[in-house]
């Protein structure tokens, strides 16, 4: 019995041991697996942590720099293959996209409102400059003293520059150049542009061309040429000339502005060409300090009105040659009545002389003489002896007496307008 009990106990014990051993072995397996899994997870966690740290410390700052316009390449994840397996890369990409969108929309909003404010401000400045110009013109008409005129010319010059700066800034931020004008000869357009720059005395218009620019394009071309002239004058020695030449071509006319300053390097030319094409509008933040608005404004005008501007050639004097090419659709014929081509003088005088016939107002004889002159192919000089000088003198003397008595009667009235009532009335007759 005792023997049996002992063996039974031993058997149980043996079985128990076997079971325990089996359990232990299994437990060890499980633990091993868990440990491995744990290590893997820790690894992934570390990887993700590193990626996140990389995102915050490197990738987002790089993205910010690029969005601010600096030439930075934004780096990718540290270990692209492994992070792709975890699925975190999609989340990170989403974060970066959101970041980009947020920055861009904030920037666009800020730019929009800054542009709007600047545009409105510049429009105010511009209209004040225009008003001031009218006041100055009015004073120039009324004052005869050279001292006063000298002052007025200086004020006029400064006011013209002020107006130009305001206009260029407004144009850059989406405004129209304003100022409706009638068609003007190209030479006048260039001289009008010369009026608006600081060193206007250095500008030499050496050649001539007998085409005019259509009214709607006058102000834009004046503004563009003024910016280019100013640029040429500022980037060359103060004692060197800035030369303007014209070249009539099949498709239009080229206005060439040569300075004797320093040439631009290829990088500058590239930047300038991008601005002048009007494609790269540039934002306010990139204009620099002090802001360089000239080329950018010229580019906007050129793109909007259909002329082209290039600065990629050298001038004969080693500086820059800026070329404004105005195509034929922006050109028209020179109005003979306005531009005194030597052959044309008789025309404006002949017309009033014939017009005066039906009206009650007699014309001055000077006009008749002019008509004679126009009828004579030999020209005005040959026609002059046909009329007794005494008659001319007497006629003019009468006019003079009339002017004097008129001045005495209305002291302070502008005698320069003495001829104007007649032409006004003539205008009424025609209608």
Partner 1 sequence: MTPPRNRKALVRPHVVTAGRARPSRNIFDLVTLVIATSGGVGPLTPEKRRIVTLCQGGALSVAEVAGHLDLPPSVAKVLLSDLVDSGHITTRANAPADPADRSAHERLLREVLDGLRARL
Binding residues for partner 1 restricted to 318-337, rule: CB under 8 A? 337
Q: Which of 191, 234, 235, 271 binds partner 1 (CB under 8 A)?
A: 191
Other Cβ atoms within 10 Å of 233 Cβ, number = 24
Shortest distance, position 317 Cβ to partner 1, whole Å: 22
Cis, bond preceding 227 (omega within 30 deg of 0): no
Shortest distance, position 235 Cβ to partner 1, whole Å: 21
CB closer to partner 1, 200 vs 246:
200
Shortest distance, position 256 Cβ to partner 1, whole Å: 19
CB closer to partner 1, 276 vs 331:
331
Shortest distance, position 156 Cβ to partner 1, whole Å: 6
Shortest distance, position 412 Cβ to partner 1, whole Å: 14
CB closer to partner 1, 23 vs 375:
375
Q: Which of 184, 244, 272, 275 binds partner 1 (CB under 8 A)?
A: 184
Among residues 123, 309, 304, 153, the alpha carbon closest in space to that of 231 is found at 309
CB closer to partner 1, 73 vs 239:
239
* Contact status: 179 vs partner 1 (CB under 8 A): yes
Identify whether the C-beta of residue 334 lies closer than 8 Å to the C-beta of residue 210: yes
* Contact status: 395 vs partner 1 (CB under 8 A): yes
Shortest distance, position 143 Cβ to partner 1, whole Å: 7
Q: What is the DSSP letter of 345?
A: T
Shortest distance, position 383 Cβ to partner 1, whole Å: 8
Among residues 335, 321, 276, 327, the alpha carbon closest in space to that of 302 is found at 276
CB closer to partner 1, 86 vs 133:
133
* Contact status: 178 vs partner 1 (CB under 8 A): no
Q: What is the DSSP letter of 344?
A: -
**H/E element holding 400?**
helix 389-409
What would the DSSP string read from start to end of 185-202?
EHHHHHHHHHTTSTTGGG
CA distances (Å), 412 to each of 135, 142, 399, 416, in order? 17, 9, 19, 11
Among residues 208, 207, 184, 195, the alpha carbon closest in space to that of 330 is found at 184
Q: Which of 218, 226, 232, 293 binds partner 1 (CB under 8 A)?
A: 218
Strand-pairing partners, residue 248, are 253
Q: Which of 77, 177, 192, 278 binds partner 1 (CB under 8 A)?
A: 192
Q: How far apart are CA 382 and CA 137, in angstroms?
A: 38
Shortest distance, position 423 Cβ to partner 1, whole Å: 5
The tokens 């000088």 sit on which residue?
389
Q: What is the DSSP letter of 283?
A: -
Q: How far apart are CA 399 and CA 23, in angstroms?
A: 135
Q: Which of 381, 408, 409, 411 binds partner 1 (CB under 8 A)?
A: 381
Residues 16-45 that bind partner 1 (CB under 8 A): none
Q: How far apart are CA 279 and CA 3, in angstroms?
A: 108
Shortest distance, position 282 Cβ to partner 1, whole Å: 29
* Contact status: 198 vs partner 1 (CB under 8 A): no
Residues 336-365 that bind partner 1 (CB under 8 A): 337-340, 342, 344-346, 348-349, 351-352, 359-362
Scanning 27-35, 224-232, 245-253, 414-422 for contacts with partner 1 by CB under 8 A, the matching segment is 414-422
* Contact status: 369 vs partner 1 (CB under 8 A): yes
Q: How far apart are CA 387 and CA 383, in angstroms?
A: 8
Length of the chain: 431
Residues 116-175 that bind partner 1 (CB under 8 A): 133, 137, 140-141, 143-147, 149-150, 152-154, 156-157, 160
Query: Coil, strand or helix: which one is 385?
Result: helix
Sign of the CA dihedral with 56 first, then 58, 59, and 63 last? positive
Q: Which of 21, 23, 84, 394 binds partner 1 (CB under 8 A)?
A: 394
């Amino acid at each position: 019995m005792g023997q049996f009990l002992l063996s039974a106990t031993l058997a149980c014990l043996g079985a128990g041991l076997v079971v325990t051993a089996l359990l232990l072995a299994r437990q060890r397996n499980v633990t091993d697996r868990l440990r491995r899994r744990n290590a893997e997870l820790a690894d992934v966690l570390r990887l993700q942590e590193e990626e996140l740290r990389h995102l915050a410390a490197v990738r987002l700052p790089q993205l910010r720099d690029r969005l601010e316009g600096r030439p930075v390449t934004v780096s990718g994840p540290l270990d692209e293959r492994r992070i792709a397996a975890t699925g975190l890369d999609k989340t990170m990409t989403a974060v970066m996209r959101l970041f980009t969108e947020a920055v861009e929309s904030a920037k666009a909003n800020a730019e929009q409102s800054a542009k709007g404010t600047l545009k409105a401000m510049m429009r105010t400045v511009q209209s004040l400059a225009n008003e001031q110009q009218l006041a100055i013109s009015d004073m120039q008409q009324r004052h005869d003293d050279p001292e006063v005129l000298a002052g007025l010319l200086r004020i006029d010059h400064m006011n013209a520059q002020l107006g130009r700066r305001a206009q260029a800034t407004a144009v850059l931020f989406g405004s129209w150049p304003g100022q409706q004008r009638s068609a003007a000869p190209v030479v006048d357009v260039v001289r009008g542009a010369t009026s608006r720059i600081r060193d206007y005395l250095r500008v030499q218009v050496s050649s001539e061309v007998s085409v005019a620019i259509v009214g709607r394009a006058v102000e834009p071309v004046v503004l563009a040429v003024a910016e280019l002239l100013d640029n040429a004058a500022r980037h060359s020695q103060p004692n060197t000339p800035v030369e303007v030449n014209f070249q009539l071509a099949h498709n239009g006319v080229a206005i060439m502005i040569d300075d004797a300053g320093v040439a631009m390097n290829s990088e500058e030319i590239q930047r300038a060409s991008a601005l002048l094409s009007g494609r790269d509008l540039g934002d306010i933040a990139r204009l620099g300090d002090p802001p360089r608005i000239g080329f950018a404004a010229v580019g906007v005008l050129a793109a909007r009105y259909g002329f082209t501007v290039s600065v990629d050639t050298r001038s004969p004097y080693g500086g820059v040659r800026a070329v404004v090419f105005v195509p034929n659709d922006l050109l028209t014929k020179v109005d003979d009545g306005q531009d005194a081509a030597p052959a044309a003088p008789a025309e404006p005088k002949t017309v009033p002389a014939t017009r005066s016939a039906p009206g009650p107002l007699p014309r001055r004889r000077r006009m008749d003489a002019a008509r004679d002159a126009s009828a004579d192919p030999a020209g005005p000089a040959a026609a002059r002896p046909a009329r007794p000088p005494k008659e001319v003198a007497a006629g003019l003397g009468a006019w003079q007496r009339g002017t004097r008595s008129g001045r005495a009667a209305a002291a302070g009235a502008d005698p320069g307008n003495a001829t104007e009532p007649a032409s006004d009335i003539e205008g009424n007759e025609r209608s």
